[in-house]
Amino acid sequence: MLLSLYLVSALPLESRLNKRSCSKTYKVVKGDTCYKIWNKYGLSESKLKNLNSGLSCSNLKTGTTLCVAGSSSSGSSSGSSSCKTTHTVKSGETCYKIWKQYGLSESQLRNLNSGLSCSSLKAGTKLCVAGGSSSGSNSGSSSGSSSGSSSGSCKTQYTVQSGDSCYKIWSKYSLSESSFKQMNSGINCSKLHKGDKVCVKTSSSSSGSSTSTSTNSHSSSSFTWYKECVHSKNYAITFDDGVYDYDNELLDLLKKKGVKATFFINGNNMSDIKSSSVRKTIKRMYDEGHNVLSHTWSHADLTHLSKSSTRSELKKLEDEIYSIIGKRPKSIRPPYGSNNSNTVDHLKYYGYSYGILWHVDTEDWKHKGDADQSINRISKGLKTSDRPIILNHSYFDKIKKDKLLKMIEKELDYLNGKGLKGVNMETCIGHNVYRSSGEGFPN
């Protein structure tokens, strides 16, 4: 269990590449692949690569000595040495509960616990909830202040007013989201507080430090995770894992309720995207104003995939979606919400700009479609956000159609009854969720 609890992604680059701290080596034999090796030692791809800086898996040579376990001082074999505080998961606890309890953001918790699977959190698992000093600089900031912006290079600051959102501010100053976020590194837009100072103009326009080093012309220069919409009183209901047989009636229901939704579909999971009935349903989703976005080809956990496998998971699905609606998504919900810094690098490289998580997980599958339980979770979520992204599924574990539809209807009635408006992801995040026309899948 501890295998997944290393801190690699939260550490600065320099400390990740510390070769002196290797406690176990392995000599590559004929026929080995990186995949074979990382599996043999219970490592992930990223862990193997972190232990072996510059490792070229496509050109692995027999006789090469690889590091397959870091020493405790490197912090990369187990989180224990650089983890300051651990938390033992209790039965019924969720990641959400844990990150709230320790004042962390979701991305901070994930950075501290690479490989963390929140959808199958097991009681007894030890999670790191506070890193050592060297890991203090992870990307998700839990404070709404402009912690990362250097006052030296910020020329104009803006003081957040009540009712402001990041979206409002960057629009007001005619900034793009990515330039705004570069000026305010670490800003947590879901926790913007009145009185916070944010930077809206830097002294040198080139001072923004884009982290993308890729030269691919279609790669994305920034990648942003969303758990909430940018405008208050909007909500985005999302359906994962389809297309499924119930989706057409779900579309009828959405139409009846005047709600636009978002479908995070797979190519080959509950159904085969090449079948004509599925293609027809996708076309209908799009034509009726919903967004059809990526949930990978086969519902793969992207944190377990190499760059080339990630490419195929994205491209296969994208090509099919494009052949149906003429659009290529550049927004994705990674299966299980699972992600780490490698995932983000891969997604950016392949031109993805937006990762969509959620503020409310209805846990529909867990309570077998019990509408009251879903409402309960939504109502809790509304206490901390008036613009939530809400996770549902097109299908799960033997759920009957009537039960699923009834549950969704109750959810929509509840949300609409609170004066909220159900919007698609494009409206929710205020960005084009598809690639611009003519932009193909990067090589």
> Dihedral of CA 367/370/372/375: which sign?
positive
State the binding string over 325-344 for Zn ion (x if CB under 5 A, else -).
----------x---------
**Is 290 a catalytic site residue?**
no
Amino acid at 353: S
Spatial contact of 69 and 77, defined as CB atoms under 8 Å apart: yes
| E runs forming strands in 323-417 | 331-332, 354-356, 360-361, 389-393
Residue 267 makes contact with Zn ion by CB under 5 A:
no
Q: Which of 240, 241, 247, 361 is catalytic?
A: 240
CB of 177 or CB of 241, closer to Zn ion? 241
What's the rounded Cα separation, in Å, for the pair 147 and 214?
26
342: nearest Cα among 82, 48, 40: 48
The Cα–Cα gap between 376 and 388 comes to 14
Residue 393 bears catalytic tag:
yes
Could you say whether residue 186 binds Zn ion (CB under 5 A)?
no
User: Of 335 and 355, which has the nearer Cβ to Zn ion?
Assistant: 335
Query: Where is 422: in which H helix or E strand?
Result: strand 421-422
C-alpha torsion angle, residues 379, 383, 389, 395 (rounded to 10): -20
Q: Of 49-57, 147-155, 184-192, 237-245, which part binds Zn ion (CB under 5 A)?
A: 237-245
Return the DSSP state at 332. E
Q: In angstroms, what is the minimal distance from the CB of 337 to Zn ion? A: 9
Q: Which is nearer to Zn ion, 288 or 301 (CB)?
A: 301
Rounded to a whole number of angstroms, the minimum distance from the CB of residue 225 to Zn ion is 16
By beta carbon distance, the residue nearest Zn ion is 240
Among the listed residues 290, 295, 393, 431, the single catalytic one is 393
- Segments of 10-145 assigned E as strands: 22-27, 65-70, 83-88, 126-131
- Does residue 313 bind Zn ion (CB under 5 A)? no
The region of 51-59, 158-166, 233-241, 323-331 touching Zn ion under the rule CB under 5 A is 233-241
Cβ at position 50, least distance to Zn ion in Å: 27
- For position 388 contacting Zn ion by CB under 5 A, the verdict is no
Q: With left for phi above 0 and alpha for psi between -120 and 50, is residue 275 left, alpha or beta? A: beta
Q: Does 241 bind Zn ion (CB under 5 A)?
A: yes
Name which position in 45, 196, 240, 364 contacts Zn ion (CB under 5 A).
Answer: 240
> Counting contacts by CB under 5 A, is residue 363 touching Zn ion?
no
- The CB-of-53 to Zn ion minimum distance in angstroms stands at 33
DSSP state letters, 172-204: HTT--HHHHHHHTTT--GGG--TT-EEEEEESS
Q: Which stretch binds Zn ion (CB under 5 A): 80-88, 239-247, 277-285, 408-416?
A: 239-247
What is the binding site for Zn ion (CB under 5 A)?
240-241, 335
